[in-house]
Amino acid sequence: MQKHWSKVEYLHQSVKNPNIIVKGTKSYYSNAWTENFENYVVRYLYGDAYSLQHWQPQWPIDKLYIGNCVCIGAETVILMGGNNTHRNDWFSNYPFMEKIVESYRQKGDTHIDDGVWIGMRSMILPGVHLGEGCVIAAGSIVAKDVEPYTIVGGNPAKPIKKRFEDFVIQELLALKIYDRSDEELDRIQAALCSDDLNLLKKELNQLK
């Protein structure tokens, strides 16, 4: 298939690494200018064809969890834990193979929650949790967790503003919108594509 900026890669169709867990069918990567999601975006994660064939894990493998309706911009990089062997508390931070197991420090799983939008050329560092509905400005380097429905940007990424008032954010989280099936999400598109909280509640109640 010829690549074009108007076409995207749906992750549930392309991801093969067992350590990448994708929820739903709507999350995508804008791959028009790069290789696919696994080959370009995700770095240092055991579970690709080469690592499965040539290596035995020496430590617990961190996982990448991706929610539904996640939008990942072109040339994003998600760093995982496979290279966490550079020890700044040692005199040398070089990863000598004889000390590789001892040098490893686990960062933990990376979570990209439902409805997150990651701007192009952003970098997500290992073990970060991106909360529901947050926005990562283009070119940001995210080293810390991001609160739900918060816009962050910069290097290192810092909060710019919240998308909605606190009480609205709490209600959105309580509604658990993205626990609905993809078919149900399609049925409430009109409410999702608005800022009318009462309409959203009404549409969700009608699904019951």
Three-state secondary structure of the chain: CCCCCCCCEEHHHHCCCCCEEECCCCCEECCCCCCCHHHHHEECCCCCHHHHHHCCCCCCCCCEEECCCCEECCCCEEECHHHCCCCCCCCCCCCCHHHHHHHCCCCCCEEECCCCEECCCCEECCCCEECCCCEECCCCEECCCECCCEEEECCCCEEEEECCCHHHHHHHHHHCHHHCCHHHHHHCHHHHCCCCHHHHHHHHHHCC
Annotated catalytic sites, by residue? 86
What are the structural domain ranges in the chain?
9-163, 164-208
Mean pLDDT of 97-120: 93
From 3.40.50.10320, 3.40.50.920, 3.40.50.2020, 2.160.10.10, which CATH number describes the 9-163 domain?
Answer: 2.160.10.10
> Is residue 120's pLDDT more than 80?
yes
pLDDT tens-place string over residues 145-191: 999 999 999 999 999 999 999 999 999 999 999 999 999 999 999 99
pLDDT tens-place string over residues 26-71: 999 999 999 899 999 999 888 888 888 888 888 888 999 999 999 9
The pLDDT assigned to 60 comes to 85
Q: Comparing 208 with 13, which gets the higher pLDDT?
A: 13
